[in-house]
Structure formats: structure tokens, C-alpha cells
Structure 1
Amino acid sequence: MTRLTPLTPADAPERSRQLLQEIIDRHGEAGVMTATMAHSPALLQGYLELSRAIKRVKLPRALSEKISLAVQEWLGCALCLAAHSDAARDAGLSEVDISLARQGTSTDAREAALLTYAVRVLAEPSSITGEDIAELRQHGWSDRTLADVVGLVSLNHLTGAFNLVAGLEPAS
């Protein structure tokens, strides 16, 4: 059940009105999450800026979607899981790949290590040790990738937490 009401540009605070109108001009619609985020101009602007920045990470799209699926499964956001499952299919992932990613793993040991790291960044970042980072490097992951994963996890945490608090669900 929706707990926060999506806003139209006409009903939104001035800065949110501008941001929503820019989204509508570019994409034709704002989407329920951004329309609901419009209650807070600071949140909406921060989300949009972080989202644009994270699009520049150096992760393959399929791997990025696997990380998003692992994080959203842990958070329990049905709206995000539906969106990232569709995006994963568009990126060429099979249903098995999607199912494994939602479990935080992969048939590829290198990817499985990164997915485990991503879930730990979300759930228990203080437990990550120098040895854990060294092991990820042994799998061939660079410091840039490890930093990019923190950003991707943060974006997913923001969207998942917001959707859960707002009560946003996938369309029936």
C-alpha cells in the first residue's frame, strides 16, 4: 500500500517541479519513484545526480544488474527487483543468472566474489578487512571497481529504502 503520494509537477515544491519537468521532457513521464521523491527537492536532486554519476562506473551492465539484484533481494524491494530483473534480461542475463544474482552469487567465481562483497558493503561494511580486499584483487578486481561497487550499492540502498518506506510496489 502506498504511504507517500506521488506528486505532479504542479503539486511539487518549486525545485522538484523543475526537476520533474526535466525528466518528463526527456522521458515522457517521471515514474512513480521520482514523482514520490519530489516531496523532498534535496532527495530528488541527490538521487538524480547520484544516478547519473553511477551510470559512469566501469562495470559491464550485466554485472551491474547482478549487483543491483543481490542488493535489492537483501533489502526486499519488490519494485526494484522487478525493474532490475527486466534490466538484467535486457542486458542478456538468463533466468538462472538472475536467480543466482538474487542469491548473491554467480556461476563465475570472480563475479561471485564481487557479489558477496557488494552484499557485505550493504549489510556489514565494518566487517570488510584488508584480507577481503586482497582476495578481491586476486580475483582481478581493481580498486576503482571496488569503489564503484560501493557507489552502486549506495544508489540501490537509497532507491530500495525509499520505495519500501513510501510503500511503492510494482504495477499489478
Structure 2
Amino acid sequence: MVQFTVHDETTAPEESRPALEAGRKRLGFVSSLNAVMAESPELLAGYNALAEQFQKSSLPGNAKHVVWITTSVLNGCEYCVAAHSTLALKMGVDEGVVRALRAGKPVADDALEAVRRFTERVVTDRGWVDEQEVEAFLAAGHTRRNVLDVILGVGMKTLSNYTNHIAHTPLDGAFQAQEWTRS
């Protein structure tokens, strides 16, 4: 197995160090994900730029967590499911919603279920979402802008999910309580 370095601010390439320092300020620690991505300053910068834009997107906060967890479950990313489950619960997302998402099951909230289902279609159909699915998402009260923002969130998570698959990113202690194993 190819070993990837889990960098810190002293071992990372110079161009990655400011992003690692910013991550430490944001989370209180440098996440293993950012530490592995630091090997490629461009990947780390790209991921962080997408994350910043997705945070600004038109989707409500709970819906963003639905996109992150749903994408990560479908891609089988153990690191990201644990991390985003932890963050979702910390941000007040209902525990039952988080549990359902982790299990790949529908959620009771109709608006969030529409986001889950649409995200699932984007990921599993690789963007070739049936027109009826897009219309159902819009009929559930979402907008065309929301459609595109879901794609942004899926793209962001695809970068981290694939990085974690290849690098076998170790799970941070802060996310251990929400550890998840793909079936």
C-alpha cells in the first residue's frame, strides 16, 4: 500500500501551510483530511475553495449536511461520513436524520428527503439525473439554483472521498464517536 504523509504545518509544502493553519483555527486541530491533501497545495486549495463556496450556497444548513453525508455514504467514505455526522450533530441536525442518512435510508422531513434523493441521483447517475427527478426536486420547493448547489456539494465531497479512499486517511479523534464502516 502506498503511504501518504499526514502533514502538519512544519512538514507540509510551504504553499499548504497557511491552509493548515486556517484549518487549525477553524476546527481547533488540523484534520487528517487536510493534512493528507496538503501534499498537493492545489488539491487542498481547490477543496477549501469549493467548501467555502458551498457554505455560501443557497441551500439551508441542514440541507448542506444532507448533501455531504449522502454523497459520502454513497461513495463509501468512512472518514467523511464520521466527520460530517459529527459536524451535523454539533450544528443541531436532528439525530434521527443523521442516523437515516448514515444508513442510506429516507428521512422524515420532506424538504430534506428531496435533497437526499436528488443528491443520491446525482451521485449514482453520475450527473445524468432523469428529468422527472429534477422536476420532483423542484416540486418539493427547491430551486434551479439549489439543483446546481447540490452539484457543487457533490463535487466538493468527491474530492475528499476519493482522496480518503486512495490515501487511507486516518480518522481524527474528534470524529471517533461517529465512526462508520461501509457495508
Residue 169 of structure 1 is matched in structure 2 by 170
Report the TM-score, using the length of structure 2 for normalisation. 0.82
Q: Distance in 1 between matches of 2:26 and 2:83?
A: 19
Structure 1: runs of 5 or more not aligned: none
Deviations 1:123-153 (A, max 9, x none): 2134313332222211111001111111111
Runs of 4+ in 1 over 6 A off after TM superposition: none
How much has 1:28 moved relative to structure 2? 4.8
Residue 81 of structure 2 is matched in structure 1 by 81
Corresponding residue pairs, total = 172
Give the secondary-structure state (helix, strand or coil) at the position aligned to 1:10.
coil
Alignment of 1:16-165 (within 5 A): 16-24=16-24, 28-102=28-102, 103-165=104-166
Report the TM-score, using the length of structure 1 for normalisation. 0.86
Structure 2: runs of 5 or more not aligned: 177-183
Distance 1:20 1:140, change over 3 A: same
Identity of aligned residues (%): 26
Q: Distance in 2 between matches of 1:84 and 1:26?
A: 15
Q: Structure 1: which amino acid aligns with 2:107? A: S
Residue 6 of structure 1 is matched in structure 2 by 6
Q: Structure 2: which amino acid aligns with 1:73? A: V
Q: Structure 2: which amino acid aligns with 1:90? A: K
CA RMSD in angstroms, aligned pairs only = 2.3
- Report which stretch shifted further, 39-48 or 15-24: 15-24
